[in-house]
Structure 1
């Protein structure tokens, strides 16, 4: 997750939304009591559909707020929600993201296949739709879900709440509606994330200076306190100062490229530039401005939608450029667990200048922790993209899937869409949907 102009819109949504005054105790209680099916028939369903974990965390905050107000809840992913369970519930609150150009999150595809005519006249509902108005299909999935609920006779508790890039007023309006449900007048506000102090300890350019793309940098940080725990697939939220010595005024998200066993957190960041050539706020700061040894405000957020599989099935990892960050953490996690059936398909620009992390990846191949390493370059003689390579290797992709392989894709949204189309051609759209519903196809696209 390293593309400033695209990812920031989603990332900035987190700046004002994290739980502070509600406290960790309430959040832990929500996790203990909310993840299981309801034990009471009047339980309120809190349903989330999240692509990066943001809607899920807001759902957990919502669950905590309702529990604190004496409301019995059940927290559930939309992909796990059945029509019968929804029809039997008296009340449901939906917190759903729209990803890409108006798409539903991957975890919601199973539910979408079940969105047929249904009598929901006994259900009251509310919808919080997360989106980005710079996209043509703003909050498209949240709007479609809201329309479907109304069409099937469910009764809205209030008008749909749409959140554009974490707009403060919209989130406060959602919390106001929760207070109306609980009857509380003293509920604490939701507040910005509690960053921990880290320090920048190393910055290394991975591609050559003659690359046709901007610099791709490995950034290493260490905590000033205890090293926190995290998993492959998790996200580093960074508070970016507007000027040296100032408090953060912007928020960016990056895929974590290392594991706690490395004793430091690493990112892979592409320097981004605006139309005027100015460096991106976060990427410019991390790759050029922030001094070695300088403090960095950082928080690690769990992203269960991109965690690895249980057990040790084969794994196909597909990405390009800075997307290697999230894939690299998975490779490290698999190596530590001695899972050797890993196939990395990595796209970059030019073979002469963009063979990033070559010693590390070639060592993995030599040791057998990378069964296959396929590099694909879009420039130079015979330029190809990762989606072209997938089509070339269609029989092998089908063979790996038949062996039980999972697929993880990480990188820019355009690459993710092209890879998705190629996989749908190779495996069939219904089969790909089925893999998604079963957690065997996961994406982190930005």
Structure 2
């Protein structure tokens, strides 16, 4: 027997098995789930369709469906094609906007298809309502929701009411949405988002001497332990004192660690005033003080359930969300992990250096690339480290790796996205999106 040929054959077989479990099988399962959901959507039922970036739209869609009862069927937008909507009688859309008017990651494929979709029948049989989530600090406030409303109307779909635009979960706007649901569908009242009391038990600055703003690690303990359940990738939504406002923070720990860990950098407003949430958490809230916190599920940033490789990319406080993901992989014994992290100075800004270097020594991290921009004359950022590892990136992606990006939306996330497009090419980038291999929690 020819040993080299046998070895080659076994390697090819192993590669095909890997591709089946990491690419083809998940795609097939998604297709089957899509067909099952569409088959269940009879004319008397109401489709509640969501497009979410950080879990808020998902949660509001689920609350909308709950108020409608058994009539409602919740469907993520990425499981639909434009032509699918022609079979629907009534659809309620709950969509967020990413950055300056862009679709959330999970909606990009649908929206590209929608812009190219041509049909004579259109969507004249569809009635719809639109809840658009956004942040008025951006010029294109609720931009994607408005684009979806305009596209649906251009296809002949009939709006049930004017698009409801929500500025950072403004209660008055959400109440307007509930009023529309009641008027058109006799919906039940929403249940309040469950918040539980937590206590600040430890707070320490992680970057003394840094050129950047102070950054603090906070440890919180739940006062109702039975409610302290979350998954790596989820979001802590915190009520800021008695201001009536809330702020979202990536969770940096797993439930097995016993405490909820945050990484918070002090922010300043454009006028120089301190950031409401960051200063309350890092300065005003006393040690031992209590806060109200809601754990929001963020399924778009969860880990894959299988053992495919994972690449983690982030900067600054974005390391918080990545730390929880890697900790989970560590607890599972999954070691095909690669972290690329960037900050200003290694001497001051290498957050959680001890645990990261320990994971590298233990093999939990197979690869650790660091980019400290101020440690050399020519600034070096995370996207530079990614481009320098082009061959390895292509290899990991070919093995089915999932990429997780957490940190600054402006700058880091944009530069990393462009690097991925350049390295993988248009076809490779599109394949990565289609198989759910590119997940972002950026802000």
TM-score, length-scaled by structure 1: 0.86
Structure 2: gaps (5+ residues): 1-35
The residue that corresponds to 2:440 in the other structure is 443
Picking from 388, 394, 400, the partner of 2:390 is 394
Query: How far apart, CA to CA, are the structure 1 residues paired with 2:253 and 2:383?
Result: 26
The 8 Å contact of residues 315 and 407 in structure 1, kept in 2 or not, is answered as yes
Correspondence 1:124 to 2:156:
no
Deviates more, 1:423-432 or 1:342-351: 423-432
The residue that corresponds to 1:370 in the other structure is 365
The 8 Å contact of residues 41 and 88 in structure 2, kept in 1 or not, is answered as no
The residue that corresponds to 2:163 in the other structure is 160
The residue that corresponds to 1:27 in the other structure is none
- The correspondence of residues 269-280 of structure 1 with structure 2, limited to 5 A, is 269-275=264-270, 277-280=272-275
Root-mean-square deviation over aligned CA pairs:
1.9
The verdict on how the C-alpha distance between 1:386 and 1:37 changes in structure 2, with shifts beyond 3 A counting, is farther
The residue that corresponds to 1:321 in the other structure is 316
Query: How far apart, CA to CA, are the structure 2 residues paired with 1:44 and 1:275?
Result: 43
- The correspondence of residues 31-430 of structure 1 with structure 2, limited to 5 A, is 38=40, 40-67=42-69, 72-115=71-114, 116-118=117-119, 119-183=122-186, 187-188=188-189, 191=192, 193-207=193-207, 209-227=208-226, 228-241=228-241, 247=242, 249-275=244-270, 277-381=272-376, 382-414=378-410, 415-430=412-427
User: 1:283-322: CA deviations, max 9, x gaps?
Assistant: 1122222222111211211111111112011011000010
Query: How far apart, CA to CA, are the structure 1 residues paired with 2:166 and 2:292?
Result: 25
Query: How far apart, CA to CA, are the structure 2 residues paired with 1:167 and 1:221?
Result: 26
Picking from 407, 429, 433, the partner of 1:432 is 429
The 8 Å contact of residues 232 and 333 in structure 1, kept in 2 or not, is answered as yes
The 8 Å contact of residues 309 and 440 in structure 1, kept in 2 or not, is answered as no
Query: How far apart, CA to CA, are the structure 2 residues paired with 1:436 and 1:50?
Result: 15
User: 1:56-113: CA deviations, max 9, x gaps?
Assistant: 111111111111xxx6221100000133431111111111111111110001112123
The 8 Å contact of residues 117 and 152 in structure 1, kept in 2 or not, is answered as no
Query: How far apart, CA to CA, are the structure 2 residues paired with 1:289 and 1:439?
Result: 40
What secondary structure, in the 3-state scheme, does the structure 2 residue paired with 1:46 have? strand
The 8 Å contact of residues 234 and 256 in structure 1, kept in 2 or not, is answered as yes
Structure with the higher helix share, 1 or 2: 2
Question: Displacement of 1:49 after TM fit?
Answer: 0.1
The verdict on how the C-alpha distance between 1:37 and 1:321 changes in structure 2, with shifts beyond 3 A counting, is farther
The 8 Å contact of residues 36 and 75 in structure 1, kept in 2 or not, is answered as no
Deviates more, 1:137-146 or 1:44-53: 137-146
What secondary structure, in the 3-state scheme, does the structure 2 residue paired with 1:343 have? strand
Question: Displacement of 1:189 after TM fit?
Answer: 5.4
What secondary structure, in the 3-state scheme, does the structure 2 residue paired with 1:136 have? coil
The 8 Å contact of residues 63 and 190 in structure 2, kept in 1 or not, is answered as no
Query: How far apart, CA to CA, are the structure 2 residues paired with 1:444 and 1:37?
Result: 32
Query: How far apart, CA to CA, are the structure 1 residues paired with 2:89 and 2:418?
Result: 39
What secondary structure, in the 3-state scheme, does the structure 1 residue paired with 2:60 have? helix
The verdict on how the C-alpha distance between 1:54 and 1:120 changes in structure 2, with shifts beyond 3 A counting, is same
Question: Displacement of 1:274 after TM fit?
Answer: 2.9
Question: Displacement of 1:277 after TM fit?
Answer: 4.3
Query: How far apart, CA to CA, are the structure 1 residues paired with 2:126 and 2:316?
Result: 46
The residue that corresponds to 1:26 in the other structure is none
Question: Displacement of 1:45 after TM fit?
Answer: 0.9
The residue that corresponds to 2:7 in the other structure is none
User: 1:317-356: CA deviations, max 9, x gaps?
Assistant: 0000100000000000001111101000000001222122
The 8 Å contact of residues 40 and 72 in structure 1, kept in 2 or not, is answered as no
What secondary structure, in the 3-state scheme, does the structure 1 residue paired with 2:370 have? strand
The 8 Å contact of residues 67 and 190 in structure 2, kept in 1 or not, is answered as no
Deviates more, 1:269-278 or 1:53-62: 269-278
What secondary structure, in the 3-state scheme, does the structure 1 residue paired with 2:240 have? strand
User: 1:350-387: CA deviations, max 9, x gaps?
Assistant: 12221221111000000000001111011131420111
User: 1:231-261: CA deviations, max 9, x gaps?
Assistant: 10001111111xxxxx452211100000110
Query: How far apart, CA to CA, are the structure 2 residues paired with 1:142 and 1:275?
Result: 27
TM-score, length-scaled by structure 2: 0.86
User: 1:195-222: CA deviations, max 9, x gaps?
Assistant: 2111111112222x22110112110011
